[in-house]
Amino acid sequence: MDRLVSPFVGGNRVTCSASSIPVVNPGTGDTLFNLEVSTAEIVDRAVRGSYALLSTLRYETTNARAARLRLISHTICANAESIAESLSLETGKSRNNAFQEVQSCSNIFDFYASEALRLSGRYFPSLRTGEQAIVSLEPVGVVGAITPFNYPLTLLSIKVAPALAAGCPVVAKPSPETPSATLQLAELCCQAGLEPDLFNVVTGGASVGQMLIDHPLIAKISFTGSFDVGRQVAAAAASGLKRLTLELGGQSPALVAADVNSELVSLTLANQAFENAGQFCYRPARIFVESILYEQFIENLREHALSKVVASADNPEAEIGPLRNKSAYEKVMRHIQDALDHGARLLCGGNRINDQGYENGYFVSPTVLVDVDPSMLVMREETFGPVVAVTSVDCLEHAIPLANSTPYGLAGYVFCSDLDRGWRLADQIEAGSVWVNVVHHTDIQVPFGGRKASGLGREKGREGLFEYLETKTLYLGRETYDFSGV
C-alpha cells in the first residue's frame, strides 16, 4: 500500500517529511497505509497556530463554546459509519463495537457542551470594608493530548471535549498504530466549520510526543498509556512545570462472595474481561472467589470463555478480535507461561489461533487461569489481553490486602448479595472507581481516574473539565481613588 497519510494542521493535511510508519490491519497483517512522521517544524507550527487562538478563546461566551461542541457531536453522528470503519480496520474490533465507540464519542462532546454552559465563578464579600473578591475560571492554555491504540476515539474525546469546553485549543498525537479516526475527526470538524488550529493533529511515535511535551507553549499534557511511559511523560513535563493528567493502566481486582448467582456473575465478568481482547485498562483481571463457590464459579467462567467467538472484524459474529501487535501478544503469552510454570492451572485458552485466515493476526483464545497466587505476573502486572486469573479465598475480607497489593489503583469490582457487606468491601479497595454488583463502561457524567501508579487527575465528569481550567482570584475595591499624585 503506497497511500501516504499526513498530519492535520491549520485546517489542512500537511505533507512534512520523507519518514513514515506503516499502519497495519491487526487481523490480517496487511498494510493499510503509511503514516507520515511529523517534523519538529510541523509540531511547532501546530502548537503556535493553536496558541494564537488563546487571546480570542479566553473571552468568548460559553454559548459559543457549547455551540462548537454540539457541532462536533453532530458531525460525528453524520459520519459515524465511515469513522467506525476506520476504527474497525485499525484496531481489529468488530464493526458493531467500533460503531458503539463512535456513538460514545458523540455523547461525550454533547455532554461537555452542557457543562460549558454550567461553568461559573464565585463571589465573596471581603473581610475589609469597601472590597469584594471574585474567583474566575480561565483556560489553562494549549493542550497536548497523547492517546493509545485501544480506544482511539473515546480516549481522544475525553481530552478534547473538556479542553474545548474550557476554551483550550488542542494539539493531539494519536498512536501511530491507530491514527485514522483522530485525523478523520479533525478534518471533518474543520469542514463543518470548526476554526483552523483549534484542533490540530500531529503524527508519529514517541519522538513526536516528546516534541509536544517539550514545546514551551504547551501548558498541559493529557496522556493515556503505560505506567513506564507515563513516568517519562511526567518527568519531561516537570521541567516546564506543565499541568498533567495521566491515566496509566491498572490490574483491577474483582471480589465474588459465596451468596451470589454464580452463572450470572461469571457471565458478567467474562463479558467485561474479554471485551476488546482484554485491551483496556479497567477490566477485571484478578478474581477472588469465596471458597464455597469457587469450583462452581470457575466452571461457569470456563463455559462463558469457551462460548466467545474469536474472529476478525469483518465477521459479524465476532466478539473478540486480535491483539494489536506482536509485543502485546508476546507479553500475554509470557504472563500465561509464567503462571503455568509457577503452579497455576489452565482451564481454557492459552493459545494463539493459527487456523486458515487467522495466521497473520495475533488472535488469542480467551484464557482462564485458576489456582493462581500473588507471585505470578498475571497477578502483579497489567497483562492487557484476554486473560483472567482466579483464586480462592476463605472470605472476601481476607482478599482486601491481596486486591490492594499491586502498584495500581484504577478500578475494582465487588459482587455480594449482602449490600451492606458489599459497600464495606468496596470502601476498602484502593481504586479510583469501584463497581458493586454491576459492571459497565464508565459514565461520562462522573469522574474516572486512578490512584497510586494508575495515574494523576481525573477525566470525565465536571472534574474532568476543571483539569483544563486555571483559577484566578480578583480583589476589587469599591471606592475610586486618585493615585496620580496630583
pLDDT at 357: 78
- List residues bridging with 43 in a β-sheet: none
For the question of residue 168 being annotated catalytic, the response is: no
* C-alpha to C-alpha distance for 319 and 327, rounded to whole angstroms: 22
pLDDT at 458 over 70: yes
Query: Among the options 247, 275, 430, 459, which is catalytic?
Result: 247
The helix/strand/coil state of 6 is coil
Residues 166, 193 contacting (CB under 8 angstroms): no
pLDDT at 54 over 90: yes
pLDDT at 1 over 70: no
Please name which of 431, 399, 394, 364 lies closest in space to residue 286, comparing C-alpha atoms: 399
For residue 251, count other CB atoms closer than 10 A to its CB: 28
**Contacts of 330 by beta carbon, 8 Å cutoff, 6+ apart:** none
> To which H or E segment does residue 333 belong?
helix 326-341
Mean pLDDT of the chain: 95
Q: pLDDT class for 127, splitting at 50, 70, 90?
A: confident
Percentage of residues of the chain with pLDDT beyond 90: 90
pLDDT at 445: 96
209-265: per-residue pLDDT in tens?
999 999 999 999 999 999 999 999 999 999 999 999 999 999 999 999 999 999 999
* C-alpha to C-alpha distance for 426 and 420, rounded to whole angstroms: 10
pLDDT at 158 over 60: yes
197-220: per-residue pLDDT in tens?
999 999 999 999 999 999 999 999
Work out the average pLDDT over 302-315: 94
Q: pLDDT class for 128, splitting at 50, 70, 90?
A: confident
Query: Among the options 281, 416, 430, 459, which is catalytic?
Result: 281
User: Helical H runs in 119-255?
Assistant: 152-166, 180-192, 206-214, 227-238
Backbone angles phi, psi at 79, to 5 degrees: -120, 25
| Cβ-based burial of 478 (10 A; exposed 0-12, middle 13-18, buried ≥19) | exposed
For the question of residue 247 being annotated catalytic, the response is: yes
Domains of the chain: 4-248+454-473 (3.40.605.10), 252-436 (3.40.309.10)
For residue 419, count other CB atoms closer than 10 A to its CB: 11
For residue 345, count other CB atoms closer than 10 A to its CB: 13
pLDDT at 440 over 70: yes
* C-alpha to C-alpha distance for 263 and 298, rounded to whole angstroms: 10
Q: What is the DSSP letter of 276?
A: G
Residues 40, 211 contacting (CB under 8 angstroms): yes
* C-alpha to C-alpha distance for 283 and 251, rounded to whole angstroms: 8
320-338: per-residue pLDDT in tens?
999 999 999 999 999 999 9
pLDDT at 486: 56
Percentage of residues of the chain with pLDDT beyond 70: 98
Strand order, beta sheet including 455-456:
12-13, 8-9, 199-201, 170-173, 142-146, 218-224, 243-247, 455-456
* C-alpha to C-alpha distance for 483 and 477, rounded to whole angstroms: 13
